[in-house]
Amino acid sequence: MSSVHHRTATVGGHEIFYREAGPADAPAIVLLHGFPTSSFMFRDLIPLLSDKYHVIAPDHLGFGHSDAPRADAFTYTFDALADLTAGLLDGLGVDRYALYVQDYGAPIGWRLALRNPEHVTAVVTQNGNGYEEGFVESFWKDVWAYGDAPGPDTEPAVRAALSVDAVRWQYLHGVSDPSLVSPDTWEHDVALLSREGNDRIQLALFRDYRSNRPLYPRLHAYLRDSGVPVLAVWGRNDEIFAPAGARAFARDAEDAEVHLIDGGHFLLESRLDVVAGYLRGFLGRVLGQETTGGRPRALTAG
């Protein structure tokens, strides 16, 4: 098993933390985490990939062990987070990679793919939305309201997402056996969210989330035109991004492989073995055929 290295790089004047494992000359896969976590969410997946792949998992600015400049000193947007991720990969000399995206990692990954489609060898989305389908209204209505009219009337509802109860819910909802999910997960996230000023960082990103939706038509065109292989592995009980968001990828990505798995938003915490099995099979097929331009016939499962 390959060792996992814990490193930092200076990008745009900020220290970006990342986990790295596997041979430097192997096909690369970049793991992009969601809210409210960090590359910590990939701690158990990385060793399962690093025998064959060069794995890189950064913490976005404001998350995990990366720098977290105050929201009045840095403009937190998904464009800015994508810029920093691109800068990190450029500094590491990684210009061909598969993307694994989850939650916030999805709009960051979509920006990377749209800017430089030739860099992306494959796309894996695990509860990372790219369509209007999939947004669960009961969760998102407060985010949309806050983005449309930030202020004292709309902020309390989204600020509640930073509470320990809300973070715990993200990990446990939709999980048939909650005892599989370690409390270390949400306690780790809450400790980092509770740092002075971090609430303002998260509120800034809540406000900016609506900037992601106008990208979707360009994303869909990219999926159709590029022929990039797509795997969607999705917790089918997710009450943030519903299964319709996974199925939608099959509309634009030729032979998209879609698997709905018994689990919730943070699927790796309860079904790591299942996700890793699909992921290794998919990467082995599509990256192995990359130089010939061939595409495997993939399964779409409902």
Supply the DSSP string of 72-129, one letter for each residue: TTS---HHHHHHHHHHHHHHTT--SEEEEE-TTHHHHHHHHHHH-GGGEEEEEESS--
State phi, psi for 236 to the nearest 5 degrees: -70, -10
Question: In whole angstroms, how far apart are CA 238 and each of 96, 147, 189?
Answer: 31, 22, 19
Which one is catalytic: 14, 54, 259, 265? 265
Rounded Cα distance between 234 and 240, Å, is 11
282 vs 27: CA distance, rounded Å: 13
Place of tokens 């990954």: 109
Is residue 54 part of the annotated active site? The answer reads no
Q: Is 271 exposed, middle or buried (0-12, 13-18, 19+ CB in 10 A)?
A: buried
- Closest alpha carbon to 88 in 19, 150, 149, 38: 19
- Supply the DSSP symbol for 59: P
d(CA 225, CA 142): 35
Angle between helices 198-208 and 183-193 (to 10 degrees): 100
CA dist 166 → 157, 186, 293 (Å): 11, 9, 44
Instruction: Give the chain's radius of gyration (CA, Å).
Output: 18
Q: Which residues are catalytic?
A: 265
